[in-house]
Amino acid sequence: MAKYGMVIDLDRCVGCQACMVACKAQWQTPEDYFRTWVKHIGPVQIKDEMVFTSYVGQCNHCDNPPCVPACPTQATFKDTETGIVLVDYDLCIGCGYCVEACPYGARFINPVTKKVEKCDFCYPRLGEEDPACVKTCIVSAKVFGDLENKDSYISKKISEGNTYIIATKEVNPGPNVYYKGRRSKIEAIIKNYPPEKKDTLPAKIWSNVLRPFVILGAGATFIGSLVAFLFQINQGEKEGEDEE
């Protein structure tokens, strides 16, 4: 058992976007699609500070990921061994409910494979080397490791203090990507890219209106048939003769 996470030190990040390039080289995502991103924010005024920062983001591998229940076939699932939110490409039908559900916009439908894609902490490289973005970072702003192992470097980084998550009071799915740096930088990120709770229209209609109707209808006819059968047993067998 492990729980992998990441710490991103915004005070170290220079916004060079090398992590985006490394990720793209690793996963060969189509043009204009990225599993990780660096968005430049600022200069903006947060309270009495002038902030200029980069929003280095990717899938947060949340503790309660909203994308997992949104997926009808559960192609998206939280791996119990590693805590990484993974996608089973056999099961993905490319509906994009999870894309809509993600508060961070970390997912996209790959226009070539027609299936969903997102950061998986370079799952195939796990145990061998760090994720591509971590390994390539010129200033070591990104740290990857096991959050449950108290001796790991990442745990020490977090226990140093000044760590934040991107969440609001309303939307907090328990992200496992932590941010370090001046507090005003995190506030600027949340102000510019607030995590949003979104419901998709078809899914809403299904769970609120149609599912009760379909389940009730199918259940009612089934129970109706059952009751009729029990009545029939009670009355004893009769031949179809006495219809006249």
Partner 1 sequence: MRNEILEKYLPLTPEEKEELKKKRIKKHHVATIFLHWFNMLVWLTELITGAALIISSNYIFVPRFFTKLVSDIYGTRGNIIRTHIFVGVVWAIVLILYALFGWRRYLKPTLKEIFGITKDDIGWLVSKFEEVALGKKVHYPPQDSYNGGQKLFAIVVALMVPVIIITGFIMAFHLLTPALIRWAIIIHFIAVGLVVMGLSVHIYMALLYPPEQEGLFGMIHGYISEYFAYHHHYKFWRKKKKGLDKPAELPPKKDLSPIKAGIFLGVVLFFSFYLTGFGLGSSGFVQRTLVAIFGAFAPESVKNHPYMGHYWGVYPLWNFLVFMGFGVIIGTLFAMFLSNHKFRFRIEKGDKISDIQRLIYAVIGGIIVGFATRIAGGCTSSMALSGGSVFSPGGWLFMIFLFVGGYLGAFFFRRLWK
Of 55 and 108, which has the nearer Cβ to partner 1?
108
Among 72, 81, 153, 198, binds partner 1 (CB under 8 A): 72
Identify the residue among 30, 45, 114, 174 touching partner 1 (CB under 8 A): 114
Based on the shown chain and the rule CB under 8 A, indicate whether residue 25 belongs to the binding site for partner 1. no
Query: Is 108 or 179 the residue whose CB approaches partner 1 more closely?
Result: 108
- Is 222 near partner 1 (CB under 8 A)? yes
CA distances from 190 to 96, 103, 187 (A): 24, 12, 5
Pick the binder of partner 1 from 78, 115, 125, 182 (CB under 8 A).
115
Q: Does 207 bind partner 1 (CB under 8 A)?
A: yes
User: Cα(196)–Cα(199) distance, rounded to whole angstroms?
Assistant: 10
Q: Which x/- pattern over 76-95 shows residues binding partner 1 (rule: CB under 8 A)?
A: ------------x-xx-xxx
- The distance of closest approach from Cβ of residue 41 to partner 1 in the complex, given in angstroms and rounded to an integer, is 29
Q: Buried (b) or exposed (e) across 78-100, using 16+ Cβ within 10 A?
A: beeebbbbbbeeeebeebbbbbb
Closest contact distance (angstroms) between CB of 206 and partner 1 is: 5
In angstroms, the CA 136 to CA 94 distance is: 31
Q: Does 64 bind partner 1 (CB under 8 A)?
A: no
22 token code pair: 């490394």
Q: Which residues contact 108 (CB under 8 A, 6 or more apart)?
A: 33, 99, 116, 117, 118
d(CA 91, CA 77): 11
> Is residue 84 within 8 Å of 61, Cβ to Cβ?
yes
Nearest to 190, CA basis, from 171, 207, 206, 208: 171
- In sign, the C-alpha dihedral spanning 147, 61, 137, 191 is negative
Stretch that binds partner 1, among 5-13, 137-145, 149-157, 200-208 (CB under 8 A): 200-208
Is residue 203 near partner 1 by the rule CB under 8 A? Answer: yes
Q: Which two tokens stand for residue 193?
A: 């890219």
Q: Which is nearer to partner 1, 74 or 140 (CB)?
A: 74
Give the interface with partner 1 as residue ranges (CB under 8 A): 68-74, 88, 90-91, 93-97, 99, 109, 114-115, 200, 202-203, 205-207, 210-211, 214-215, 217-218, 220-222, 224-226, 228-229, 232, 237-240, 243-244
